[in-house]
């Protein structure tokens, strides 16, 4: 499974239906931190299917300034030695 809207050090979204789509290991590995629209730029039909699925599931990506959350995560990592 791959997140449509990433959950990583640079982006923060949710791990729930509407943001998860099937992905083979090779595609998952090559997508890495790319935005799904950039990664699938040559496959507009796939982008359309993903967006339709997201709407059907009622998933809206998170938006806003999450810098404070990122700071808390970094502090937690230091204290937990992650």
pLDDT tens string, the chain, 82 residues long: the values are 888 877 766 666 777 788 888 899 998 889 887 888 999 999 999 999 999 999 999 988 876 666 667 777 888 888 887 5
Q: Is 26 left (phi over 0), alpha (psi -120 to 50) or beta?
A: alpha
Domains of the chain, by residue range, sit at 2-80
Q: What are the phi and psi torsion angles at 32 (to 5°)? A: 45, -115
At CB < 8 A and 24+ separation, what contacts does 11-14 make? 12/62, 12/66, 12/69, 12/70, 13/61, 13/62, 14/59, 14/62
Token pair of 60, please? 């809206």
């Amino acid at each position: 499974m791959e997140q449509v809207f990433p959950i990583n050090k640079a982006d923060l979204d949710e791990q729930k239906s509407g943001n998860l789509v099937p992905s083979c290991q090779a595609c998952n590995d090559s997508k890495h931190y790319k935005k799904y629209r950039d990664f699938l730029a040559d496959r507009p039909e796939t982008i359309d299917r993903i967006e339709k699925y997201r709407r059907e599931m009622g998933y809206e990506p998170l938006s806003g300034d999450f810098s404070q959350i990122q700071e808390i995560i970094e502090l937690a990592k230091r204290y937990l030695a992650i």
